[in-house]
Every structure is written in structure tokens, then in C-alpha cells.
Structure 1
């Protein structure tokens, strides 16, 4: 079982505090890791009362939106210090791995 830390960053320098996520496997395809993150986030928002009917998002639908955003270059994923570029690429997740989701922010005037 692996414990990884998810961190959200932006290219403009913003960094959200990391949160830990337990993964049963020590190796996992990036697409599956993104999907599991989205499922957990939706579940946590529901549990915290942040998502109320009728606007409850479907976790799998949110996962598909995140995967589509990755495919079109909306964000990068770094596992440790290595960028993972393919959703089907299997990544090693030893204990303490940091997974960074780097949202790309457009440059002003560019």
C-alpha cells in the first residue's frame, strides 16, 4: 500500500497545501490515478455538504472531464520530479511520493 501526496500548483506560482491519498497499488497508470483523485474529491465535497442536490456532480463524469483536460494540455502531472505525459503510463508510487498537478496559466498578452 502506498501513501502519496497530491499537490496543486499553477505556473503563476500558486501552490495549494498537499493532501494525502492512500493507494493500494505501488504502481498505477496515470489515468487511473487521476480518476481516483476525482472520485475522492467529489465524495469529500458531498460529505462536507459543499455539493447539494440538484447540482451533485457525478464522480465518473468529473473524472472524464479531468482526463479530457489533461489530454488537451490544461494541466501537467509530475510524479516526484518526473513529468508523466501519457494517461496509460504506469508510475511507481513508493511511500511518500508527491504527485503535483500543475495547472497551466496563460501569459498576459500571449
Structure 2
């Protein structure tokens, strides 16, 4: 297992959020990175029940309303697969950029060699809202 730290940054380089993840292999794809991130964020949200979902892709307005009172029986957890689909689509449509060691990754199947010094940053260009 390798540990990677993912940073959310503004276009000017200001760090907004950091997330540490475990990945199984040293050689992974950009798609694997996005998938690991989205699944970890959704899992943490569904488990911890924070007031606000702070992830790469925001749940739709309807989902957010359903999740406001987590003590109600009608709570509907955020769907990780749905969020992943939206995130992958957003990457392909330049909704956000992924920088690996300060170099922009262009393709989902682009391979990344994870070392102790690998730097991965996400730069969001537009608000990403799920469905």
C-alpha cells in the first residue's frame, strides 16, 4: 500500500483542502486516483454525518435536502457510483484539472508512478454538482 496526499487548490495555488488516501499499487491511473478520492469522501460523509458534504462533486440540491436531518429514517446516503460517474465526466469536460508533480494529467488512463514525493493536486474550475 502506498499513501498519497491529494490537495484541492485554487488556480492561484491556495490550498483549500487536503485528503490522504491509501492506494494498492505504485502504478495507478488518473481514473484510479479520482475513484479512490470520490469513494473515500462519500464513505466518510455517509459514516460521519457532517453538516455539509465537502467533496470533489457536490450532491444535487435534492440529495442535500434529504441528508440535512441525519436522525430521520428517510436518510438517503450519497451514492458513490453516481458521484464517481459525474466526477469522471467533469474531468473529461475540463471541469477540474489533476496535476501530478505540477504536470497536468490529460487522460483518465494516464499512469502515475506513486512515490513518497508524488504531489497530486485537483484544481476545480466550476462548481461540480451531482444528480
- Interval of TM-score (by shorter of Structure 1 and Structure 2): 0.7 to 0.9
- Aligned counterpart, 2:8: 8
RMSD: 1.8
Q: Larger relative contact order (C-alpha < 8 A, sep ≥ 6)?
A: 1
Structure 1: runs of 5 or more not aligned: 106-110
* Alignment correspondent of 1:83: 104
CA drift at 1:96: 3.8
SS of alignment partner, residue 31 of structure 2: helix
CA contact (8 A) 1:3 1:21 kept: yes
SS of 2:104's equivalent?
Answer: strand
Report the CA distance between 1:33 and its aligned residue.
1.3
User: 1-side partners of 2:116 and 2:12: how far apart?
Assistant: 29
Q: How does 1:1-110 map to 2 (within 5 A)?
A: 1-11=1-11, 14-50=14-50, 51=67, 52=70, 53-104=74-125
Give CA-to-partner distance per residue, 1:57-94, whole Å, 9 cap, x none: 21111011000110111110001122111001111111
Name the count of aligned residue pairs.
105
2:129 match: none
Contact 1:78–1:101 at 8 Å: present in 2 too?
Answer: yes
Q: TM-score, normalised by structure 1?
A: 0.84
Q: What SS does structure 2 have at the residue aligned with 1:37?
A: helix
- Decide which moves more: 19-28 or 4-13: 4-13
Moved >4 Å (runs of 4+): none
Unaligned runs of 5+ in 2: 51-66, 127-131
